[in-house]
Amino acid sequence: MILEYLEYVDNTIFLDINHNLTNPLFDAVFPSLRELTYVFWFLLIVYFWIKNEKKMALLLTVSIVVGALCTYPLKFLIDRARPYEEIASTRLLTPAEADPSFPSAHAEMSFLAATVVSRFHPEYAKYLYPFSFIVVLSRVYVGVHFPGDVVTGMI
């Protein structure tokens, strides 16, 4: 009963974002965040390395790798279908993903990296958390994640 209700809420919020939040700017920008998210965090690692903050660069790298090592096995263990596999009316704005949906690795990586960097550089938090939130929103908007996938990834 509770799981069915949570699934209903997840589907309802997904459809609201995927169908009702549409606008041309999001349609143009959000699909590119799929790859740009990885590029952004890689460039931030390079930035810290060049800035001679090698410990920060290493900590960020290790955090991202460890996060992925936790997230990807969980994805395959839970094996939740993607929204476009369950909801025929999904607006899919990026190529279909090969791995399961839950939890969102983009959300996990973005919020983990933002938290790690902000812990040692609080002045960056005002940029990194909004960027991470946009990444999370984009994953639902483009049709590859349910809201529950990204919320769990954020945690």
What is the CATH classification number for the domain harbouring 45? 1.20.144.10
Residue 15: inside a domain, yes or no? no
Residue 5: inside a domain, yes or no? no
Residue 96: inside a domain, yes or no? yes
| Residue 97 pLDDT | 87
- Give 49-89 pLDDT, tens digit per residue: 999 999 999 999 999 999 999 999 999 999 999 999 999 99
| Residue 98 pLDDT | 87
How many other C-beta atoms are found inside a 10 Å radius of the C-beta of residue 130? 11
How many other C-beta atoms are found inside a 10 Å radius of the C-beta of residue 93? 18
Better pLDDT: 1 or 129: 129
Residue 14: inside a domain, yes or no? no
Residue 19: inside a domain, yes or no? no
Residue 29: inside a domain, yes or no? no
CB 140 within 8 A of CB 151: no
Dump the DSSP string for 66-82.
Answer: HHHHHHHHHHHHH-PPP
Domain count, the chain: 1
- Give 87-141 pLDDT, tens digit per residue: 999 999 999 988 999 999 999 999 999 999 999 999 999 999 999 999 999 999 9
Please tell me the least confidently modeled range out of 2-6, 28-32, 43-47, 128-132. 2-6
Q: Which of 36, 13, 25 is nearest to 135 (CA)?
A: 36
Query: Which range of residues forms the domain containing residue 87?
Result: 35-154
Residue 116: inside a domain, yes or no? yes
